[in-house]
Amino acid sequence: MAKKSFSSGSGPSQRQLRVGELIRRALSEILQRGDVHDPDLNRMSITVGEVRVTPDLRVATVYALPLGGSSKGDVVALLAKNKGELRHLINKKLALKHSPDMRFRLDETFDRIDETRRLLSQESVRRDLEPAEDGDEEE
C-alpha cells in the first residue's frame, strides 16, 4: 500500500486553516466579552489577526495586537499568563478533540504594511514603477 507524502513547502492544509480560523474567532469573542478572570486583560482591546495551527493540531500560534498599538509588550505577556483559562474556554466553546497548546506572538502585519507604503511612496521607487514617457515608446 502506497503511503501519501506531502511536501513540507505545500502550506497549511484545509483542516489546519479551518481549525485556526475557528480558534481565532472563538478567542476574539472570548476577549471581546471579557470572559477571562483577569482585569488587566479585560481592560485591553485585543485584535487576533491570525492563528496558525501545526499539522497535528496540537499547537496553535496566536498572532495578536492591542487595538491602537499601545502596550504591545504587555499583550503577549497577559495572554501567556492566562493561557490555561483561554485554552479551557476555547475547548468548551469549540468542543475540540484535543485542545491545542497556545503560543502568543505579536502581530506585526500592520507594521509591515506601513513600511511597505513608506517604501512605495519614495520618489525613486515611484519613478521605477510608473510607465515610460510617450516619447520613449515605439509606434
- pLDDT of amino acid 7: 45
SS3 of 59, please?
strand
Best-predicted range by mean pLDDT among 6-10, 27-31, 41-45, 130-134? 27-31
Three-state SS at 12? coil
The predicted-structure confidence for 65-122, as pLDDT tens digits, reads as follows 988 766 777 899 999 999 999 999 999 999 888 889 999 999 877 655 666 666 677 6
Q: How far is CA 136 from CA 23, 123, 124, 125, 132, in A?
A: 55, 20, 19, 19, 7
Q: What pTM was computed for the model?
A: 0.71
Strand order in the sheet with 46-53: 46-53, 59-66, 101-106
In order, the DSSP letters of 67-90 are TTSTTHHHHHHHHHHTHHHHHHHH
pLDDT given at position 10 = 77
Q: Which residue has the higher pLDDT, 123 or 34?
A: 34
Q: Which of 56, 57, 74 is nearest to 65 (CA)?
A: 74
Tell me the mean pLDDT in the region 4-26: 81
> Which domains are assigned to the chain?
14-130 (3.30.300.20)
Cα 133 from Cα 63, distance rounded (Å):
44
List, for residues 34-55, the tens digit of each pLDDT value. 999 999 988 889 999 999 999 9
pLDDT band per the 50, 70, 90 thresholds, residue 29: very high
